[in-house]
Homo-oligomer: A and B are copies of this chain.
Amino acid sequence: MEIFYAKEVAGKTVFLDQEESAHCIRVLRHRAGDEITVVDGLGTMMRCRLTDDSPRNAEAEVLERTDGWGGHPYSLTMAVCPTKNNDRFEWFVEKATEVGVDAVVPVIGDRSERKVFKTERSRKIALSAMKQSLKAQLPGICEPVSVKDFITGSQSALKLICYCFEGETQRRSIEDVLREVPEGTDITVMIGPEGDFSPEEAVLAVENGFIPVHLGPSRLRTETAAVTAATAVYLHFIK
């Protein structure tokens, strides 16, 4: 099943951008009159009939709309420190999109070795993962912010921070915390860099209502911890 993404939808008309038009018309050789499946990136899937098969700006007419297509019964923001190796973060973005995530925020911590982040690359990966996994909602890939700004700005109903300070005994398992959360709760999970959060960041997070959680005994890489946390939320709510 081939999915096309339309950034622009006006009434009953969807407009494919240059890239999607080229893929639909040049690569897959669709012609005016063909039925195609289009998603708007906001949760709606539309069965459409191609009305203009221009390979630069194709247009289609909406025949049927399905809202919440491929959606998930929770709202999840993953705030993750970019990994030294970009591919590992982009792999996380792909996997989190497949499983189900609403927003990804690259957060730069005191101990982050990588301070720059290629937002556009991750957006492309999220887009193709959304289409490949038959979802209609495109996760938001935010511009990077500092861990401290993210902590003080986060408004989620449930805010979790995963860190692994040696000898830390205050943390509960993420499963344990999720058990108390009603479906549909707006959840944020923050995952630190290879060198973990700084003690100052951890204290600031707790002061701002973040609950310290652990992901079990295994010592996970940053991107693995991020996918494990997103999977824990997914598995908890799809049970």
Contact = CB atoms under 8 A, between A and B. Distances in A.
Given A91-B91, A227-B227, A231-B231, A98 B220 contact: yes
A72 B217 contact: yes
Interface in A120-166: 132-135
B175 A239 contact: yes
A232 to B, nearest CB: 5
A70 interface: yes
A75 to B, nearest CB: 15
A95 B224 contact: yes
A119 interface: no
Interface in A192-239: 216-221, 224, 227-228, 231-232, 234-235, 238-239
A133 B239 CA distance: 29
Given A173-B238, A175-B235, A238-B173, A70 B217 contact: yes
Among A134, A219, A220, A235, max chain B CB count under 10 A is at A235
B132 A224 contact: no
Interface string A67-90: 000101000000000000000000
A102 to B, nearest CB: 13
A195 to B, nearest CB: 14
A100 interface: yes
A22 interface: no
A99 interface: yes
Interface residues of A, number: 30
Contacts of A98: 218-221, 224
A99 B133 contact: no
Contacts of A180: none
B134 A239 contact: no
Contacts of A134: 219
Given A72-B218, A228-B234, 18 more contacts: A98-B221, A98-B224, A99-B224, A100-B218, A132-B221, A133-B219, A133-B220, A133-B221, A134-B219, A135-B218, A175-B235, A175-B238, A218-B234, A218-B238, A227-B231, A231-B231, A231-B232, A235-B235
23 contacts: A70-B217, A72-B217, A72-B218, A98-B220, A98-B221, A99-B228, A133-B218, A133-B221, A173-B238, A173-B239, A174-B235, A175-B238, A175-B239, A216-B238, A217-B238, A218-B234, A218-B238, A228-B231, A228-B234, A228-B235, A231-B231, A231-B235, A235-B235
